[in-house]
């Protein structure tokens, strides 16, 4: 296409350029009509702040060497954290199962 033809292209089309491939002309996607648009800030949802500690969830996994059993537990709303050794994780898991 010549520059004049590109300038005259209907606004509902986009040209996708990928290195090593021929250009692709396709219709633009209307993000406002996507089913999950309501979860964006433009769709009225509260903004998401990356790294906010109130949204943090941790998962700790422990593999028992004897049985190859994987046990997991989740901690929600982490405000502070400690590094646990195997015995402390075992104790926590035992108390969780009671």
Q: Residue 82 forms beta bridges with which residues? A: none
Nearest to 11 by CA among 24, 27, 23: 27
Per-residue pLDDT tens digits for 29-47: 988 999 999 989 899 988 8
Residue 45 belongs to some domain of the structure: no
In this prediction, residue 22 carries a pLDDT of: 93
Residue 93 belongs to some domain of the structure: yes
Residue 90 belongs to some domain of the structure: yes
In this prediction, residue 58 carries a pLDDT of: 59
Tell me how far apart the alpha carbons of residues 98 and 96 are, in angstroms, rounded to a whole number.
Answer: 6
Q: Say which residue the tokens 């964006």 belong to.
A: 40
Cα–Cα–Cα angle for 16, 21, 23, rounded to 5 degrees: 35
Range of the domain at 70: 53-97
> Bigger pLDDT: 80 or 6?
6
Residue 78 in tokens: 């982490």
Residue 8 belongs to some domain of the structure: yes
Per-residue pLDDT tens digits for 57-98: 555 665 555 555 555 555 555 555 666 777 877 787 777 766
User: Phi/psi of residue 53, each to 5°?
Assistant: -65, -20
Once rounded to an integer, what is the mean pLDDT over residues 51-57? 57
Same domain, 61 and 93: yes
Tell me how far apart the alpha carbons of residues 61 and 51 are, in angstroms, rounded to a whole number.
Answer: 22
What does pTM read for this prediction?
A: 0.37
Domain count within the chain: 2
């Amino acid at each position: 296409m010549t520059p004049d033809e590109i300038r005259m292209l209907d606004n509902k089309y986009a040209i996708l350029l990928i290195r090593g491939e021929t250009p692709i002309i396709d219709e633009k996607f209307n993000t406002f009509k996507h089913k999950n648009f309501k979860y964006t800030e433009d769709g009225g949802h509260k903004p998401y702040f990356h790294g906010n500690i109130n949204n943090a969830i941790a998962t700790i996994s422990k593999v028992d060497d004897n049985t190859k059993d994987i046990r997991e537990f989740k901690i929600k709303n982490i405000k502070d954290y400690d590094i646990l050794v195997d015995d402390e994780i075992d104790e926590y898991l035992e108390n969780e199962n009671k």
